[in-house]
Structure 1
């Protein structure tokens, strides 16, 4: 079982498209669309939302994603009419509908509990903003400051070796699959990374964040540096570089 997802949109086509996209990332998760009105027009439907939530529930709860304010109102009304047991395990996430649905789907796919799936959805907005700001002037200033601090290390007393940060284990790989680290391959990579007790990065980006991985835009031929620290660092690096070298079966 896993947490289910419901996508509520004023457009049936938008809801269905998001479900299709998120479903590619998380084929084992129940993701249901509740888009448009009962007659297929633009708007939202109390009955469609109710039906989608009941169908998405697999016993572990349901996270609902909404596009506009009135969709949230419809979802909240529908939840009021659920039986107490089901209503207790349904949450409406405050997140962008596309990014949130994708992030939530991956979190549910790797076995995240209801609260963790909600957190993944709601963190997607911040992750998306961080990705878009990677080359911002502010970051450039911070990078320059970091370089300056680094140049002053020779005059700084370093802490004892026992107190220094753990040295990461790392390995390089080259993407050989046509789609690189996008869509399904990115989700497969994140799912695998999430199984290890380790802090893992890909070219300096959190390997367990789907949006950060996809935001790098790494395509075929791109060089990838996988680094990890923690209990399962070596296992993580070995498994992830093997997956990259496999081409994801493409």
Structure 2
């Protein structure tokens, strides 16, 4: 079965690594990639890391991006713009909870649109 991929974006590599570990406790098959910190390992975000995570997590069903703070959103938007792939969406939801719900729903075969609607229902505002 093919799944919607998930990308976790944070200013801290440790934050996204920890969230991925939590997700992996229950869901092992859905592609989940992380983009945490700057290219030199500092606190911040990296368009290159986000783009690489998108490329790795991407499936024909698409990929959803979850982020922690404003500049992560800005860099994620730029990574989406420069990507040549379709069905990449930035999600407005809490990073941990939103990504967890999306991964569970991806694991049961929901489409990217169904997952987006569910996230809006569960988390109407960020």
TM-score normalised according to structure 2 size:
0.92
Distance 1:26 1:120, change over 3 A: farther
Query: Which stretches in structure 2 are left out of the alignment for 5+ residues?
Result: none
The offset of 1:22, in angstroms, is 1.5
**Structure-2 residue corresponding to 1:75:** 76
The offset of 1:124, in angstroms, is 3.3
Q: Is the counterpart of residue 30 in structure 1 residue 31 in structure 2?
A: yes
The offset of 1:125, in angstroms, is 2.8
The offset of 1:58, in angstroms, is 1.9
**Structure-2 residue corresponding to 1:21:** 22
The offset of 1:14, in angstroms, is 0.2
Distance 1:106 1:18, change over 3 A: same
**Structure-2 residue corresponding to 1:201:** none
Work out which structure has the larger RCO, using CA pairs closer than 8 Å and 6 or more positions apart in sequence: 2
**Structure-2 residue corresponding to 1:66:** 67
The offset of 1:38, in angstroms, is 0.6
Contact 1:100–1:120 (CA<8 Å) still a contact in 2?
no
**Structure-1 residue corresponding to 2:100:** 102
Contact 1:62–1:90 (CA<8 Å) still a contact in 2?
yes
**Structure-2 residue corresponding to 1:121:** 119
State the SS of the aligned residue for 1:112.
Answer: coil
List aligned pairs for 1:175-186, cutoff 5 A. Answer: none
Distance 1:16 1:123, change over 3 A: farther
Aligned length: 123
TM-score normalised according to structure 1 size:
0.48
**Structure-2 residue corresponding to 1:146:** none
Q: Is the counterpart of residue 46 in structure 1 residue 47 in structure 2?
A: yes
State the SS of the aligned residue for 1:25.
Answer: coil
Contact 1:15–1:33 (CA<8 Å) still a contact in 2?
yes
Cα displacement string for residues 33-71 of structure 1 (whole angstroms, at most 9, x for unaligned residues): 000001111000000000000100121100000101110
Over the residues paired in the alignment, what is the CA RMSD in angstroms?
1.2
The offset of 1:3, in angstroms, is 0.2
Distance 1:122 1:67, change over 3 A: farther
Q: Give distance in 2, aligned partners of 1:114 and 1:23.
A: 20
List aligned pairs for 1:160-171, cutoff 5 A. Answer: none
